[in-house]
Amino acid sequence: MPIRRKATEAGIFDASELALLARVFEQLRLDNQTTEARDAIASRIIANYMAGIKDEAELLSLSKQPFGR
């Protein structure tokens, strides 16, 4: 799953953090997306989380938007 690989690359997350990131990722990904699109989603989720967005609903909302918005 791209979110776990991206999370591992970004740093150390505990099990509850990984579960949160995975839940958000599952809500944003689509079955017909390319690997690159899924990687971009995973990167946005992790970047937002590392920027201090810890609330699941807010993380989901912000991660729907491309970077820079």
Cα–Cα distance for residue pair 67/17, rounded to 1 Å:
21
pLDDT digits (tens, 9 = 90+) for 26-40: 999 888 989 999 989
What stretches of the chain adopt beta strand conformation (E)?
none
Contacts of 64 (CB under 8 A, 6+ apart): 28
- Three-state DSSP class for 49? helix
* DSSP-derived secondary structure letter, 66: P
How high is the pLDDT of residue 28? 94
pLDDT digits (tens, 9 = 90+) for 7-28: 777 777 888 998 999 999 999 9
